[in-house]
Amino acid sequence: MNQIYQEGKEFAKSYILPYTERTDKESKFPEETFEKLGEQGFLKLLIPEEYGGFGKGLEEHAQACLAFAETCATTALCYMMHNVAVMCIVTHGSSELKAKIFADIIENGKFMALAYSEFGSGTHFYVTEMSAEVNGDSTTFNGKKSMVTSANYASYYLVLAPSVEEGKINNWVFPKESKGLSFELSEWDGLGMRGNSSCPVRIEDVTLDSSYRIGAEGSGEEQVFHVVAPFFITGLGSVYSGTAMHMFEIASSHAANRKYPDGRTLSNIETIQVHIGNIYKHASAARAITLEAARAGANGESDALAKILSARIVASEAAIECGRLAMRVGGGKAYNKALPTERLLRDAYAGQIMAPSADVLTVWLGKALTGQMIP
C-alpha cells in the first residue's frame, strides 16, 4: 500500500476517529474533520500541481477513501464525492473555473459535492427533470435534487441540467451562496451514513453565467460516464471495502479480548474462528479487487471498466455479509451497541442502493462484458 494510504490511516486516527460516534448518533456532518482535511492537504489530492495541488489520480483517490473508510464510512463517502467533483473541473473546466475553485479549496479549505439525483430519476441520476432557461450568457434553473451528500456544508455543488442541444445535458457548478439555492436539512434521517447530510436541495430561479458550466455545451453525459463514473464507482468500492475491513478489525479484536471464566477467549471457539475467517476473506477480496480496479483504470487497461464495476458490486455485497457475520461474533455486545458493529452494518446497507445501485451496476457489467452500450 502506498504513502497516501498510510498518511490517510494516520490522519484518521487523529482527526476522524474522535468524531465517528457522534457523527452517527447525532446525524452530524463531520465539520471538524473536513477542516483538517483542508489543512492537511487531502482536499487538494487531485488538483494539478500547476494550481498548487498534488496532481494525483484514480489510485491515490481509492487509497485515501479506503484509509478513511476503515475508520468512518460517512467521512470517506463525503470525501469521495469531493474528489469526484474536483476531477470534473480538472478534466473539463475552463482555466477561469479551475483557478477560482482550486484557489478556494487550497487557500480556504472549501470542498465540493454532487447534486445529481432527483426524485423522478432515482438511481439513474444522469436523467434530469430540471428546467434550464437560457437568456443570453445567463441560464436560469429550476428543479429539486433528492439526496445531496454534504448538503449545506460543501461550498460548490455539481448539478446536471438540460442542454440547449436536444437530448443532451450540461454539468454546472452551483456556488452555495447562489440566490435561490436552499437545503431541506430536516428531510435527512438516514438508516446509515447518518452524518453525510444527504438532504434534498431546492433550486428556484438560480441564475448563473456560462463561466459556471463545466466543459462544452452538451458535454455533461460524457463527463458522467468518462469522469464521474470511474472515480465515483471506484470510490464507492473503496468506501465499502474499507467498511468491511473495519468490521474485521472490530470482530477479531472482540474475539481476542472477550474472556471466559476459565481463561479462554472467544477466539478459541472454532465457530468464531470460521466467522472471522469468512469476514476477512470477503473484506480482503473486496479491498484487493478495488485497488486492482483503480490501478487498471489509472493505466487505461482494456478491462478497467469491468474491474471497476465488479469492485463496487463486490465491495457493497461484502460489507453487508461481513456485517452479518460480525454481528454473530459480537453477539449481545454487538446487538446492544457496546460494539460499533451495528453502526457499520447500517452504513453497509447504503452500498447496495446508492446510485448507481448494485442492481444497475450488475446490468452494466454484463453489458460491458458482452460489448453492449452503457447505459
Residue 327 structural domain: 221-369
Picking from 82, 111, 140, the residue at the C-terminal end of a domain is: 111
Considering the domain architecture, whether residues 246 and 344 belong to the same structural domain is answered as yes
Residue 349 has pLDDT above 70, yes or no: yes
Is residue 126 in a domain? Answer: yes
What are 134-185's pLDDT values in tens digits?
Answer: 999 999 999 999 999 999 999 999 999 999 999 999 999 999 999 999 999 9
Residue 121 has pLDDT above 80, yes or no: no
| Chain position carrying cell 504513502 | 3
Considering the domain architecture, whether residues 281 and 359 belong to the same structural domain is answered as yes
Considering the domain architecture, whether residues 25 and 79 belong to the same structural domain is answered as yes
Separation between Cα atoms, residue 296 and residue 351, nearest integer Å: 22
Separation between Cα atoms, residue 208 and residue 19, nearest integer Å: 36
Is residue 375 in a domain? Answer: no
Considering the domain architecture, whether residues 104 and 169 belong to the same structural domain is answered as no
Residues in the chain: 375
With bands split at pLDDT 50, 70 and 90, how would you rate the model's confidence at 1? Answer: low
Could you tell me how many helices (H) and strands (E) the chain has, helices first?
Answer: 12, 8
Considering the domain architecture, whether residues 100 and 121 belong to the same structural domain is answered as no
Considering the domain architecture, whether residues 99 and 164 belong to the same structural domain is answered as no
What are 75-118's pLDDT values in tens digits?
Answer: 999 999 999 999 999 999 999 999 999 999 999 999 999 999 99
With bands split at pLDDT 50, 70 and 90, how would you rate the model's confidence at 330? Answer: very high
Considering the domain architecture, whether residues 12 and 68 belong to the same structural domain is answered as yes
Contact between 239 and 349 (Cβ < 8 Å) = no
pLDDT at 67: 98
Picking from 46, 79, 111, the residue at the C-terminal end of a domain is: 111
Contact between 58 and 101 (Cβ < 8 Å) = no
Q: Which of 325, 342, 321 shows the shortest CA–CA distance to 271?
A: 325
Is residue 374 in a domain? Answer: no
pLDDT at 153: 98
Considering the domain architecture, whether residues 106 and 145 belong to the same structural domain is answered as no
**Cross-strand bridge partners of residue 181:** 203
Rounded average pLDDT over 25-48: 98
Considering the domain architecture, whether residues 242 and 176 belong to the same structural domain is answered as no
Task: Read off the amino acid at residue 361.
Answer: L
Is residue 261 in a domain? Answer: yes
Instruction: Record the cell numbers describing residue 349, joined without a space.
Output: 446497507
With bands split at pLDDT 50, 70 and 90, how would you rate the model's confidence at 46? Answer: very high
Picking from 192, 216, 240, the residue at the C-terminal end of a domain is: 216
Considering the domain architecture, whether residues 182 and 267 belong to the same structural domain is answered as no
Separation between Cα atoms, residue 324 and residue 339, nearest integer Å: 14
pLDDT at 348: 98
Domain count along the chain: 3
Q: CATH number of the domain that 49 lies in? A: 1.10.540.10
Average pLDDT score, the chain: 96
Q: CATH number of the domain that 279 lies in? A: 1.20.140.10
| Chain position carrying cell 469468512 | 278
With bands split at pLDDT 50, 70 and 90, how would you rate the model's confidence at 375? Answer: confident
pLDDT at 301: 98
pLDDT at 278: 98
Contact between 361 and 312 (Cβ < 8 Å) = yes
Residue 125 has pLDDT above 80, yes or no: no
| CA triple 320-324-326, angle to 5 deg | 110
Is residue 100 in a domain? Answer: yes
pLDDT at 122: 67
pTM for this structure? 0.97
